[in-house]
Structure 1
Amino acid sequence: MAVVSVSMPDALLERLDQFADDHGYTGRSEVVREASRNLLGEFEDTRLEDRKLMGLVTVLFDYETTNVEEQMMHLRHEHESLVSSNFHTHVGDHFCLELFVLEGSLEEISTFVGKIRATQDVLSVDYSVNPVDGFDPLSHQHG
């Protein structure tokens, strides 16, 4: 098995180690392997391929990190054929919530979510995906 070096903030590493201890993992490598498999498998649902999909994406970030808001605006414009609607609001004393309503293919939605996840200083990204061509009652929710 290959050994990989990963950089992460100390606080995240502490959470990772605590999670491993709390849930009976042998160590952080096992947690990272499982998380990687889950992340890579999120958009591999063959029932969603070649279908028109609706996606809802919520993004939470600290409003004092003004660069995140600019990056969200850039992504909205970069993917304007995918983004049907976008809503921005303030939550609590220090946070912003960005909601994106998407309509497109699995590949387009996964690319968009990936770009949001890769945005520095985003605190959380949650999304759900559902077919809109003969609506399937199976909801595919991910966080």
Structure 2
Amino acid sequence: MQRITITIDDDLLAEIDAAAEERGYQNRSEIIRDLARAGMQQSAKQAAPAGQCVGALVYVYDHSARDLSKRLVQNFHGHHDLSLATLHVHLDGDSCLEVTALKGSSVDVQHFADHIIAERGVRYGHVVMIPAKPDTKPGRKHRHK
């Protein structure tokens, strides 16, 4: 086993401690290991499907985090081909929620979402991807007027 040092904000640590107590864990290391394993399993299950997809990237971030808003905007401008639209909601004095519709190759969408979620100051993030396949069933045409 390896001993590591991590930095966790006070609110998240309080949630981890409460969950550990509720579930009967003896210490923080045990619950953090289990949560990490669960996260890795979830990531494996959500591995990007091959081909094109549409996706929804949902994340909450601290808008006062140093240069975070600027970095997010730069990331989106650098990947303008993936982003269709973004909904921005002010949750409170410090937190913003954004929901972004994405479209492109599943590899590119997943890579972009991972990069946004990993930004310092992003407190929560999740991407849902749906394969975008052409409709080949007879009689099912979708037209925009």
Task: Give the TM bin, normalised by the shorter chain.
Answer: 0.7 to 0.9
- Name the CA shift for 1:94/1:104 in 2 (closer, same or farther; >3 Å): same
Runs of 5+ unmatched residues, structure 2: 136-145
1:34-73 equivalences under 5 Å are: 34-45=34-45, 48-65=48-65, 67-73=67-73
Paired with 1:64 and 1:48, the residues of 2 have a C-alpha distance of 32
1:110 and 2:110 correspond: yes
Q: State the partner residue of 2:8.
A: 9
Taking structure 1 as the reference length, the TM-score comes to 0.72
Find runs of 4+ consecutive structure 1 residues off by over 4 angstroms: none
Deviations 1:78-105 (A, max 9, x none): 2222222233343344432222111133
1:126 to partner: Cα distance: 3.2
Paired with 1:66 and 1:8, the residues of 2 have a C-alpha distance of 17
Q: State the partner residue of 1:139.
A: none
Which stretch shifts more, 68-77 or 92-101? 92-101
1:66 to partner: Cα distance: 6.0
- Name the CA shift for 1:46/1:32 in 2 (closer, same or farther; >3 Å): closer
Runs of 5+ unmatched residues, structure 1: 136-143
SS in 1 for 2:127: strand
1:48 to partner: Cα distance: 5.0
Counterpart amino acid of residue 8 in structure 2? P
Taking structure 2 as the reference length, the TM-score comes to 0.71
Paired with 1:3 and 1:45, the residues of 2 have a C-alpha distance of 26
Q: State the partner residue of 2:139.
A: none
1:56-95 equivalences under 5 Å are: 56-65=56-65, 67-95=67-95
Paired with 2:66 and 2:29, the residues of 1 have a C-alpha distance of 34
C-alpha RMSD of the superposition: 2.8
Task: Give the count of matched residue pairs.
Answer: 134
